[in-house]
Structure 1
Amino acid sequence: MKNNASKKILIVDDESEMRIALETTLKRENYQLVCVEDVKQALDQFEDHVFDLILTDVRMPKLSGLELLRAVKERSPKIPVVMMTAYGTIDNAVEAMKEGAFDYLIKGSGFSADVLVSTVKRAFLNPQDYVPPVRPSGFINKADSIAPKIILTQNEEMKKLLKFAENVAYSKSTVLIMGETGTGKELFARYIHQCSPRAEKAFMAVNCAALPEGLLESELFGHE
Structure 2
Amino acid sequence: MPQTILVVDDDPSFNNMLSAFLKRNNFHVNSVFSSASALASLSEQTPDLVLTDFKLPDMDGLELMREIKDRAPNASMILMTNYSDVRTAVKSIQLGAFEFVTKPVNPDELLLTVNAALKQSTKSDINQPSEAKSLGKQKAVSDRKYIVGRGAKARQTWEHIQLVAPTKMGVLILGESGTGKEYAAKMIHESSKRSNEAFAAVDCGALSKELAASELFGHVKGAFTGALADKKGQFELANGGTLFLDEVGNLPYEVQVQLLRALQEKKIRKVGSEKDIDVNVRIIAATNERMAEAIDEQQFRLDLYHRLNEFELKLIPLRERIGDLDEYLTHFLEEANAELEKAIKGVSPEVNAVFQQYSWPGNLRELRNVVRRAALLCQVEEIGLAHIPSTLVEESRSEEQEASASTNGYDLKNMQEHREKETIERVLMEVRYNKTKAAELLNIDRTTLYNKLAKYNIKA
Relative to the length of structure 1, the TM-score reads 0.62
Secondary structure of 1:49's partner? coil
Whose radius of gyration is greater, 1 or 2? 2
With over 3 angstroms needed to count, the CA separation of the structure-2 counterparts of 1:181 and 1:103, relative to structure 1, is closer
Conserved? CA contact 2:4–2:48, under 8 Å: yes
Measure the CA separation in 1 of the matches of 2:183 and 2:91: 12
Measure the CA separation in 1 of the matches of 2:85 and 2:73: 25
Higher helix share: 2
> Quick one: which of 7, 13, 34 aligns to 1:38?
34
- Aligned match of 1:114: 108
> Quick one: which of 40, 65, 68 aligns to 1:72?
68
Conserved? CA contact 1:39–1:63, under 8 Å: yes
Deviation at residue 76 of structure 1 after TM alignment: 3.5
1:113-133 deviation per Cα after TM superposition (whole angstroms, max 9, x unaligned): 22221111111123998xxxx
Name structure 2 gaps, 5 residues minimum.
Answer: 124-143, 149-157, 166-170, 185-316, 358-383, 386-460
1:21-57 deviation per Cα after TM superposition (whole angstroms, max 9, x unaligned): 1111011111111111000110111122121000001
Deviation at residue 196 of structure 1 after TM alignment: 3.7
Question: Which fold has the larger relative contact order, with Cα–Cα distance below 8 Å and residues 6 or more apart in sequence?
Answer: 1
Conserved? CA contact 1:56–1:84, under 8 Å: yes
1:73-108 deviation per Cα after TM superposition (whole angstroms, max 9, x unaligned): 233344211111246422112111222211111112
CA RMSD in angstroms comes to: 4.2
Measure the CA separation in 2 of the matches of 1:8 and 1:178: 37
Whether 2:91 is the aligned partner of 1:95: answer: yes
Q: Spell out the pairing of 1:120-159 with structure 2 (5 A cutoff).
A: 120-126=114-120, 146-147=147-148, 150=158, 152=161, 155=171, 157=173
Whether 2:27 is the aligned partner of 1:24: answer: no
Measure the CA separation in 1 of the matches of 2:330 and 2:121: 17
Conserved? CA contact 1:10–1:33, under 8 Å: yes
Measure the CA separation in 2 of the matches of 1:186 and 1:66: 30
Name structure 1 gaps, 5 residues minimum.
Answer: 130-142, 166-176, 210-220
> Quick one: which of 46, 56, 61 aligns to 1:60?
56
1:164-213 deviation per Cα after TM superposition (whole angstroms, max 9, x unaligned): 89xxxxxxxxxxx446469x96599369728943468667898959xxxx
Equivalences, count? 180
Conserved? CA contact 1:179–1:185, under 8 Å: no
Whether 2:336 is the aligned partner of 1:197: answer: yes
Conserved? CA contact 2:46–2:72, under 8 Å: no
Conserved? CA contact 1:7–1:31, under 8 Å: yes
With over 3 angstroms needed to count, the CA separation of the structure-2 counterparts of 1:14 and 1:102, relative to structure 1, is same
Secondary structure of 1:124's partner? helix
Give aligned-pair identity as a percent. 26
Relative to the length of structure 2, the TM-score reads 0.33
Secondary structure of 1:11's partner? strand
Conserved? CA contact 1:14–1:38, under 8 Å: yes
With over 3 angstroms needed to count, the CA separation of the structure-2 counterparts of 1:35 and 1:181, relative to structure 1, is closer
Measure the CA separation in 2 of the matches of 1:56 and 1:122: 16
Counterpart residue type for residue 126 of structure 1 = Q
Counterpart residue type for residue 39 of structure 2 = L
Measure the CA separation in 2 of the matches of 1:189 and 1:75: 38
